Amino acid sequence: MNFVYAAGISAIMGCGIYLLLSRHTMRILLGVMLLSAGVNLVIFLAGRIGPNPPPIIEAGSYTLSPEAANPLPQALVLTAIVIGFSLVAFASALALQTFRTSGTLDQRELADAEALGSPYESKTEGSR
Amino acid sequence: MNLLLSQALIWPVVLPLATAALCALAWHRPAIQRWISLGGLTLMLAASILLLVQVETEGTQTVAFGSWPIPFGIVFVADRLGAAMALITAVLALAIAVFGLADIRRRQEHAGFHPLYLGMIAGVAGAFLTGDIFNLYVWFEIMLITAMGLLAIDRTRTQLDGTIKYAVLNLLGTLLFLLAVAILYGVTGTLNMADLGRVLSESEPSAALALVAAMFLVAFGIKAGYFPLFFWLPASYHTASIVVSAIFAGLITKVGVYASFRVFTLMFSVDEGGIRELVAVMAAGTMLFGVFGAAVQWDIRRILSFHIVSQIGYMMLGLALATPAAMAGAVFYIVHHIIVKANLFLAAGAIYRATGTYDLRKAGGLMGSHPILALLFAIPALSLAGIPPLSGFWAKYMVIDAAFADSAHWLAGVGLFVGLLTVFSMSKIWVEAFWKTPPLERKHARRVPMAMLVPMAILGLVTLTIGFAPEPFVLYADATATSLLDPKTYIEAVLGPQAGLDLGEQQ
Amino acid sequence: MNSMIFTASARILFALMLAASIFILWRGHDEPGGGFVGGLVASMALAVVALAEGVPRARRMLRIHPMSLAGLGVFLGFVSGLPGLLIDGSYLTHQWVFFPNGFKLGTTMVFDIGVYLVVLGGMLALVFRLYEDAP
């Protein structure tokens, strides 16, 4: 079963890496999202997936039942999802702002940072 | 009050976080934010000094949040390295915040400079003090998101472009880190760094663990700007406003260095699986490519950005050798470098204020018009170049001496050669900005405000102190290196003496 | 967006979603729910208003800047740890007060409200930024 999971995760992450190689900023971001989804699944798998009941303490008892799922990876995945979500949200706001100021999201045309203070041109200060 | 003192460990992280929250509450009142920020950072400095004194007198400090039993809950641990890094963070954060009084513009404050800055400081301090590997990831991400906000604070085209490059590569780095943590958790079933150190020292080497080690090295390499992963650094740091560049140059990359020191002493050993050779090659590459990159640049900020990369190489050199002397040199180097590099960026900001340009070809004549600035630039510049008796000389001396002692002659040779080229770059800035007659004559010299000169003077004073009285710092670095290379002390401090005992019998 | 039906129903949706978010926040300690989900629902409530009546209107309804809201949330999180430090000597150890009729109040509630506000503030800062037209 582990092999099936691993194959699925590697398919997702492979798509993510393929998208990362694109020149378009939004595609790169989508690639990052797919990669982070793959990583989250790896965390899940690291906590051993099986047909377990959810880790909720029954009313009246004070401990988890022994066959309950491992709650720690779930907490980790939740944290990772929230953080990944906020980062991607921030990055997409950034991409939107870039599109508004530069009119393009193609990385070939976005070279303002490199041009600033480049040693090979003399009139770089004017581009600011 | 006693309770507050007994938990000095939490304050260097909690205080900037609370201060950031207060600043966000006063969103439309930058004047109030400014003073809240300075007050919070002063308190943080006091707390970090207290923490260092406690660590020095009572040994490694541990706090478990929410009273969870220790390998399960999140712990904060301050050993000598962590406490020293927290203190240096506080010193630098306060100095740069004072500099910011003169340099930060109203618009940047309205875009949320203060909450972002304090949030980033909290993230850095958290990364230095946490004792939980997943928590380290969380602090990395807090640092990353606030850093993105700070980099793009003016929303100019160049900044947005630089920020996207920075963001994508660093996102990739943190994802690799998280992946490594996930696999590590699957193999060992624990996330507490001390517990990981205990479990990993007993476990057999396996493919999964080798993969984890490699991913940690790449992830921290992206953070710290190791060769061949440093390309984002000179492509983005110079776009930010100078205060942001200074704090980034001083702290952010050093978090990556700190994390690799922690992971490759406590959990993995550089002796196994050819990591030592790999790190050595990366160290040499980092030093060489950084300094060559700097040699052709004319923009002060770009020169300094490339020099961050080259100096990181010296720290890696310490890790590659992993002898007590080399580690001590690397720790000393980190402390010296944080102060000096941030100070140089501040000097670049002051040069910009005085000449109106970062381009060295257009600057000039500052020696005559701003002699105090010239002096304040000379201290960190000479120190970075490793001129005795400033702090950089002792740092380079310790690292390179350790390399000779370990008969890694080629690494020592590279270190000496790079030091020579550093002198070239620093003298280039000196000649172009200070000695050369300016291409454009100014009628009125532009004044550099006191709020800029005072923090530079204070950081310069720290450099001079380390330079002229290096002994206490060297002794501290030696003690730090000894405890770093003997993970038993760290593990015992966190898990209790029994855990260390088991480890001793195993070995 | 100029849709009469949407604009008219936006206010009702807003009130319903805000009430639901507070309910989710309240039941969150012992049952599924909590500050994070509640904050998401509340931010969606305001996002509906922003879609229907424009971002400036939604900003006015909120009165304070979204980031101030998030700051308040972080500050509440910081404060919620202090009683534990004073009583138990351990930061973020949560303290509870039990009433005879089974009702209980704890510092986790303060922390949860903090999470609610952070999520609400952060989401709104983003949503408003994305909905606003190009300058």
Mutate to test the interface with A, among C31, C40, C55, C129 (most CBs of A within 10 A): C129
A116 belongs to a structural domain: no
- Cβ pair B381, B250 in contact under 8 A: no
Nearest CB among A35, A102, A116 relative to B175 is that of: A35
Nearest CB among A82, A89, A100 relative to C126 is that of: A89
Q: How confident is the model at residue B12 (pLDDT cuts 50, 70, 90)?
A: very high
Q: Per-residue pLDDT tens for B307-327?
A: 999 999 999 999 998 889 999
Q: Tokens standing for B498?
A: 């029994």
Tell me the average pLDDT across B221-230: 88
Using a CB–CB cutoff of 8 Å, tell me whether C129 touches chain A.
yes
The per-residue pLDDT for B174 is 92
List all residues 6 or more positions away from C113 whose beta carbon is below 8 Å from its beta carbon: C25, C35, C73, C76
Mutate to test the interface with C, among A96, A98, A99 (most CBs of C within 10 A): A96
Q: Which residue of A has its CA nearest to C37?
A: A82
Please tell me the least confidently modeled range out of A14-18, B340-344, C104-108.
C104-108
List all residues 6 or more positions away from A61 whose beta carbon is below 8 Å from its beta carbon: none
A14 belongs to a structural domain: yes
CA distance B255 to B316: 13
CA distance B41 to B154: 24
**Cβ pair B24:C93 closer than 8 A:** no
Nearest CB among B7, B67, B115 relative to C71 is that of: B115
Q: Which residues of A touch B301 (CB under 8 A)?
A: 117
Q: Using the Cα atoms of residue B210, residue B129, residue B290 and residue B463 in order, give the sign of their dihedral.
A: negative
Q: Per-residue pLDDT tens for B180-199?
A: 999 999 888 889 999 998 88
Burial class (CB in 10 A: 0-12, 13-18, 19+), B66: middle
Q: Is the pLDDT of residue B379 over 60?
A: yes
The per-residue pLDDT for A128 is 40
Our count of domains for chain A comes to 1
The per-residue pLDDT for A121 is 60
**Cβ pair A82:C36 closer than 8 A:** yes
Q: Which residues of A touch C126 (CB under 8 A)?
A: 89-90, 93
Mutate to test the interface with B, among C62, C75, C128 (most CBs of B within 10 A): C75
- Cβ pair B62, B75 in contact under 8 A: yes
The per-residue pLDDT for B506 is 43
Q: Per-residue pLDDT tens for B231-272?
A: 888 888 888 889 999 999 889 989 999 999 999 998 888 877
Of B223, B410, B225, B200, nearest to B321 by C-alpha is B410
Q: What are phi and psi of C109, to 5 degrees?
A: -60, -45
Q: Which residues of B touch C65 (CB under 8 A)?
A: 27-28
The per-residue pLDDT for B179 is 94
Mutate to test the interface with C, among B6, B7, B25 (most CBs of C within 10 A): B25
A112 belongs to a structural domain: no
Using a CB–CB cutoff of 8 Å, tell me whether C90 touches chain B.
yes
Name the β-bridge partners of C98: C104
Q: Is the pLDDT of residue C1 over 70?
A: no
List all residues 6 or more positions away from B332 whose beta carbon is below 8 Å from its beta carbon: B394, B395, B398, B473, B474, B477
Nearest CB among A86, A92, A100 relative to C122 is that of: A86
Tell me the average pLDDT across B83-106: 92
Q: Tokens standing for B490?
A: 């760290």
**Cβ pair C68:B3 closer than 8 A:** no
Tell me the average pLDDT across C112-126: 91
CA distance A49 to B428: 60
Taking any CB pair shorter than 8 Å as contact, residues of chain A touching chain B are: 20, 25, 28-29, 32, 35-36, 39, 42-43, 45-47, 72-73, 76, 79-80, 83, 86-87, 90-91, 94-95, 97-98, 101-102, 110-119, 122, 124-125, 127-128
Q: Is the pLDDT of residue C27 over 80?
A: yes
B441 in helix, strand or coil?
Answer: coil
The per-residue pLDDT for C113 is 92
A106 belongs to a structural domain: no
Cis peptide bond N-terminal to B389, omega within 30: yes
Name the β-bridge partners of B93: none
**Cβ pair B144:A95 closer than 8 A:** no
Q: How confident is the model at residue B444 (pLDDT cuts 50, 70, 90)?
A: low
Spell out the SS3 assignment of chain A: CHHHHHHHHHHHHHHHHHHHCCCEHHHHHHHHHHHHHHHHHHHHHHCCCCCCCCCCCCCCCCCCCCCCCCHHHHHHHHHHHHHHHHHHHHHHHHHHHHHHHHCCCECCCCCHHHHCCCCCCCCCHHHC
Q: Tokens standing for B272?
A: 């196994």
A123 belongs to a structural domain: no
Q: Which residues of B touch A97 (CB under 8 A)?
A: 152, 155, 160
The residue type of B285 is: G
Residue whose tokens read 């550099």: B448
Per-residue pLDDT for chain A (128 aa), expressed as one digit of tens each? 788 999 999 999 999 999 999 989 999 999 999 999 999 999 988 887 778 787 777 777 788 777 788 888 888 998 999 898 889 888 888 888 888 888 888 888 877 777 777 777 654 444 44
User: So where are chain C's domains?
Assistant: 4-131
Q: Percentage of chain B surpassing pLDDT 70? A: 96
Cα distances (Å, whole numbers) of residue B243 to A114, B18, B348, B373 = 20, 22, 10, 17
Q: Is the pLDDT of residue B505 over 50?
A: no
A62 belongs to a structural domain: no
B132 in helix, strand or coil?
Answer: strand
CA distance A66 to A69: 9
Name the β-bridge partners of B62: B77
Of B314, B144, B152, B285, nearest to B219 by C-alpha is B144
Which residue range forms the structural domain that includes residue A76? 1-50+71-101
Strands C96-98 and C104-106: antiparallel
CA distance B92 to B100: 12
Nearest CB among B21, B27, B66 relative to C78 is that of: B21
* End-to-end Cα distance, chain C: 18
List all residues 6 or more positions away from B46 whose beta carbon is below 8 Å from its beta carbon: none
**Cβ pair A93:C129 closer than 8 A:** yes
Q: Percentage of chain B surpassing pLDDT 90? A: 49
Q: How far is B162 from chain C (nearest CA, A)?
A: 20
**Cβ pair C126:A93 closer than 8 A:** yes
Using a CB–CB cutoff of 8 Å, tell me whether C135 touches chain A.
yes
Q: Which residues of B touch C85 (CB under 8 A)?
A: 3-4, 7
Name the β-bridge partners of B192: B132
Q: How confident is the model at residue B154 (pLDDT cuts 50, 70, 90)?
A: confident
Tell me the average pLDDT across B19-48: 92
**Cβ pair C85:B3 closer than 8 A:** yes
